[in-house]
Amino acid sequence: MRLAGDETVNLLTTVALARLATRTRKPSYYYLLALTASDIVTQVVIVFVGFLLQGAVLAREVPQAVVRTANILEFAANHASVWIAVLLTVDRYSALCHPLRHRATSSPGRAQRAVAAVLGAALLTGIPFYWWLDVWRDADPPSTLDEVLKWAHCLIVYFVPCGVFLVANLAIVRRLQRRGQSRPRPQVGKSTAILLGVTTLFALLWAPRTFVMLYHLYVAPVYHDWRVHLALDVANMVAMLNTAVNFGLYCFVSKTFRATVRGVFQDAHLPCTLGSRSIFTVCPGDGIQRSDKESEPWMVDVETQLRRIVMRKDTRKAKQKNRLPGSLVSRLDE
């Protein structure tokens, strides 16, 4: 149930970010939108393919080809999510440390091309993980291929991105400190605050998974030690939190995002409301007629406004009749 709720939250985040990207045309919103989409793919692959399909739907062991194909999608989605965050980091670094160059080169089209390139590269880097070792069932010690794949995964998804995050965030913080020396109350932009929050949460939530994976590789395999098995389960669940906490971070930091989410809820609620409320019509001669006797506050307000519009038209027409000659008044009556 919690994972289903995470999917709903991410879908809501996607709709809100899509509206902001369309309205503002800012590259940072395109990066955040792609990041959320990658998180949705990760949740779908892990939960529905890895758990529900195998355990709840088929109730039997899934063919290895299906499991290995799901591994490709899972690792590709992980790599895409992390490296889109790297794109966001580079974009914010360029905006703060090289503003003139950023204004000249930054555009929605360039952001979309960068996201497409990262998605393609992530899919290519996920293909070798077709041969990823099943740590839950394989009793044999890891082979050279397993060791290479685990180190490649740790480097691609954690160590290299965290190095980029650290260097870029330090440069951003120093830049903000320099601005703070010249301004009495330095302000941190919303995009920069979101970036710092996203990268910090990623580094904290993915650290246990990376540590347990290397511990399993060199110290104790999962198959022989239930404690490592439990630790890897917990580490994977903690890493999965990274796909669900961004919505709360965006709401906490950005007032614009909160207003957009509120608008999404209002637009989703309005058709249902109109379907259940009473209907009224505007007649040229009689004003407003209600189709039933039910009265709602919001309908009363709309009805009042329409009555005022009709009364203004009648008043304006009456004034014109009083000012115009009799022949023109008879034409108006016609």
Neighbours of 79 (CB within 10 A): 24
C-alpha dihedral sign at 49, 240, 202, 135? negative
The pLDDT, as a whole number, for residue 52 is 56
pLDDT of 8: 81
Q: Output the CATH code of domain 2-268.
A: 1.20.1070.10
Q: Where are the domains of the chain?
A: 2-268, 278-333
Per the confidence metrics, is the pTM higher than 0.85? no
Distance CA 150, CA 128 (A): 11
Q: What is the pLDDT of residues 146-190, one digit of tens each?
A: 888 889 999 999 999 999 999 999 998 888 888 766 665 555 667
pLDDT tens profile 19-64: 999 998 888 899 999 999 988 888 888 766 656 555 555 555 667 7
CB atoms within 10 A of CB 15: 18
CB 252 within 8 A of CB 155: no
Q: What is the spatial distance between Cα 47 and Cα 53, in angstroms, rounded to a whole number?
A: 8
Positions in the chain short of pLDDT 70: 1-6, 47-62, 134-142, 180-189, 220-226, 269-310, 312-334
Task: Tell me what pLDDT residue 162 has.
Answer: 93
